[in-house]
Amino acid sequence: MNIKYLFGSITLLLIFSTPGIAQQANISFHSLLNEMINRDAIAHYPNPYYTMQQFSSYDRDAKKPGNLNWFSNWDRTQFIRTENKNGHTEYVMMDADGPGAIVRFWMTFAGEGAGQGILRIYFDGEKKPTIKGNAMDILSGGSLVGMPLSMSVSPKTEYKMRGHNLYLPLPYGKHCKITYESEHIQDAGAKKGGESRLLQYKLSGL
């Protein structure tokens, strides 16, 4: 997938305002990009107002402070659920209502078939993903956008062992779902071996 296709797919997805906010405070793909380089933005209250959320591969046994499992730390290859589609399995990593935007995306991989799985991003209830491809190519390989919005850690680190980062803002109007497909995943937490995956991404929503 090239970046021209991505722009054509998502630039119109997130044009909205919240109650009490002036109509000129619309959010778009371009306004999100401009905010990233606007140093004044961090000194002003958000307009329109938004909240930040985070999805990650945290250990699902760590459910409540004070419980015996609170300090469980098997923070890898954990998913919200699995979905079987046309003979293949997609592991759901994010499922959120909008409007909102993914603003930071980080993943790292280890083990058999590390990072060679398929990443899919579905916008606004579409049955087919708008973005689909090799996970590392999308996050740090430049298939969507070049540096510095798509990159990994120091080139002195073995490529498969790096953290892979995508800072390209991905806005959506109604809903967003992200899945990962890999035949090498054996179980939650990769305790039996196979591919291990850690992730963290943040989104903002109105």
Q: How far apart are CA 133 and CA 127, in angstroms?
A: 16
Cβ pair 173, 100 in contact under 8 A: no
Predicted confidence at residue 82, as pLDDT, reads 87
CA dihedral (134, 150, 174, 178) in degrees, to 10, reads 30
Higher pLDDT: 129 or 55? It is 129
Whole-structure pTM value = 0.75
- Average pLDDT estimate for 138-147: 90
78-104: pLDDT as tens digits: 888 889 888 888 989 899 998 899 988
- Residue 187: pLDDT band by 50, 70, 90 thresholds? low
Closest residue by Cα to residue 124 from 95, 145, 104, 92: 95
Task: Show the CA angle centred on residue 165, arms to residues 139 and 31, nearest 5°.
Answer: 90
Least confident of 92-96, 102-106, 163-167, 191-195: 191-195
Q: How far apart are CA 124 and CA 204, in angstroms?
A: 16
Least confident of 50-54, 102-106, 141-145, 147-151: 50-54
| pLDDT at 20 > cutoff 50 | no
Domains of the chain with bracketed CATH: 3-205 (2.60.120.1390)
Cβ density class 64-83: b for 16+ within 10 Å, e for less: eeeeeeeeeebbbbbbeeee
| pLDDT at 189 > cutoff 60 | no
- Residue 205: pLDDT band by 50, 70, 90 thresholds? low
| pLDDT at 177 > cutoff 90 | yes
